[in-house]
Amino acid sequence: MNQLTPRPSVLIVDDLPNNVRLLSIMLTEKGYQVRKAINGQMALNTVRSLIPDLILLDINMPDLNGYQVCEQLKADEKTREIPVIFISALDDVLDKVKAFQVGGVDYISKPFQGEEVMARIENQLTICRQKKQLQNEIKERQKAEETLEIYLHAVSHDLRNPVIGMSMILNNLIKNSQGETKEVSRKILQQMADSCDRQLTLIDSLVETRQNDLWGVSLELNPLSLYEIGQQISQEWELRLKENQATLINNFPPDLPLVNADDHHLWRVFENLLANALKHNPQGIIITLSARLEGNYLRCSIADNGVGISETQRKKLFDRYQRGNNNHQISLGLGLYLCRQIIHAHGGEIGIMNNDEKGSQFWFTLPY
């Protein structure tokens, strides 16, 4: 028996001390953990306190016989999977048939041979291990299939919406056009371009989060200034902020310590958090970037004065899959899920809290 694996435990149930002693010596020499019971009730009490891997059970015992003990074990959900090998002087075919009818997995006739007992025990333990392995594989397969089904529903939902929007615009143009050509307004073209951008962003996020799940986030760490990142964000997001009549305030202190981070991935975090604030709030919000030292970490905050997020939504906000307000439609929460992947890869944490007055505050930590 492999010394690195846990020793299987066997419960011997027999009212004859000599049989118990002989079986106990045989099993102990082979490396099994052995427990003993001299009657049926003691056996049931022993099993309830600590479930063995296998039971050797005599049939002819006072009070509760072996058949009755086995029936009680099989009636209990906690003990019904324990393999029971009957061992008895009864050699009639009907006795053996009854042993299997009440739930036994094997039958050994007395007087027994040590080699036969060990072979039958090892055979049943092997079957039991294989059964458990198959059950675990089935559960994993079912879980994978459920995850895939959720994933396909979410992808279908998130990709269909922008496609449907673009299709409606194009069909409307065709319907209202007269002749071969029709002038298309800049606004409509922008809507179509935005729809394409949303699809591309989703596809990129699908690929990136999947790669991160498989191989982890690949980082190229460099010393970075949060203050300078805040300045760049203010410049590059100026047009989008203006479209949403939103204001971005960079309160990152210029004298903050530099953080060792991947600039591309850190930029993705800020982009996703800012996009989330603009998407889920009315126009005219104020977004504030701030940071402070907390031990060996910098705690960065992206706060807004918008509508806030409920406690129920906050608990699952960083999950890959999210349900809508109707609790039926599943969609991909890839942006925030990706943020969590990136921050965790840097050795930090990420979360959200509601502001004391109004709105929400996303925060994340980075070592420096």
Do 191 and 240 reside in the same domain of the chain? no
Q: Where are the alpha helices (DSSP H) in the chain?
A: 17-29, 40-49, 66-75, 93-101, 114-176, 186-215, 226-236, 238-243, 263-279, 311-315, 334-345
Do 30 and 88 reside in the same domain of the chain? yes
Residue 83: cis peptide before it, omega within 30 degrees of 0: no
- CATH number of the CATH domain containing 283: 3.30.565.10
Span 116-125, mean pLDDT? 94
Q: Could you read off the pLDDT of 170-219 as tens digits, one per residue?
A: 777 777 766 665 666 777 777 677 667 767 766 776 677 667 677 777 78
Q: Are 65 and 102 in contact (CB under 8 A)?
A: no
Q: Pull the structure tokens for residue 190.
A: 């922008």
Give domain status of residue 54, yes or no: yes
User: Which of 215, 242, 267 lies at the terminal end of a domain, its last residue?
Assistant: 215
What is the pTM for the complete model shown? 0.51
The Cα-based distances of 223 to 226, 260, 342 in angstroms read 10, 5, 16
CA 64 – CA 70 distance, rounded (Å): 10
CA 126 – CA 106 distance, rounded (Å): 13
Do 51 and 175 reside in the same domain of the chain? no
Span 32-49, mean pLDDT? 95
Give domain status of residue 4, yes or no: no
- Which pLDDT belongs to residue 41? 95
Do 108 and 201 reside in the same domain of the chain? no
Q: How much of the chain, in percent, has pLDDT values that exceed 70?
A: 83
CA 208 – CA 150 distance, rounded (Å): 18
Give domain status of residue 127, yes or no: no
* pLDDT exceeds cutoff 70 at 162: no
Among candidate residues 278, 260, 240, the one with its CA nearest the CA of residue 362 = 278
- CATH number of the CATH domain containing 96: 3.40.50.2300
Do 28 and 153 reside in the same domain of the chain? no
Do 108 and 155 reside in the same domain of the chain? no
Q: Pull the structure tokens for residue 8.
A: 């299987």
- Which pLDDT belongs to residue 328? 42
User: Which of 188, 215, 242 lies at the terminal end of a domain, its last residue?
Assistant: 215
- CATH number of the CATH domain containing 190: 1.10.287
Give domain status of residue 117, yes or no: no
Do 69 and 39 reside in the same domain of the chain? yes
Domain count, the chain: 3
Give domain status of residue 3, yes or no: no
Do 227 and 360 reside in the same domain of the chain? yes
The residue count of the chain comes to 368
Dihedral sign, Cα of residue 2, residue 7, residue 12, residue 16 = positive
Q: Are 45 and 3 in contact (CB under 8 A)?
A: no
Do 321 and 348 reside in the same domain of the chain? yes
- Which pLDDT belongs to residue 327? 42
Instruction: Give the domain range for residue 355.
Output: 222-367
Looking up tokens 């840097």 gives 346
Of the candidate ranges 72-81, 126-135, 182-191, the one whose mean pLDDT is the lowest: 182-191
Span 261-276, mean pLDDT? 89
User: Which of 89, 112, 135 lies at the terminal end of a domain, its last residue?
Assistant: 112
Do 192 and 232 reside in the same domain of the chain? no
* pLDDT exceeds cutoff 70 at 248: yes
CA 92 – CA 80 distance, rounded (Å): 26
Per DSSP, the three-state class of 85 is strand
Give domain status of residue 1, yes or no: no
- Which pLDDT belongs to residue 147? 65
Q: Are 349 and 363 in contact (CB under 8 A)?
A: no
Give domain status of residue 19, yes or no: yes
Phi, psi at residue 213, to the nearest 5°? -60, -40
- Those residues with Cβ within 8 angstroms of residue 300's Cβ, 6 or more apart along the chain or in another chain: 226, 252, 289, 290, 291, 363, 364, 365, 366
Q: Pull the structure tokens for residue 289.
A: 């970037």
Do 183 and 79 reside in the same domain of the chain? no
Span 236-253, mean pLDDT? 91
Span 270-291, mean pLDDT? 91
Which is more confident, 320 or 130? 130
First-to-final CA distance of the chain: 51
Among candidate residues 159, 154, 66, 55, the one with its CA nearest the CA of residue 105 = 55
265 pLDDT band, cuts 50/70/90, is confident
Span 302-330, mean pLDDT? 70
Q: Could you read off the pLDDT of 322-338 as tens digits, one per residue?
A: 544 444 444 445 778 88
CA 167 – CA 226 distance, rounded (Å): 41
Give domain status of residue 128, yes or no: no
Q: Pull the structure tokens for residue 215.
A: 């191989």
Do 242 and 334 reside in the same domain of the chain? yes
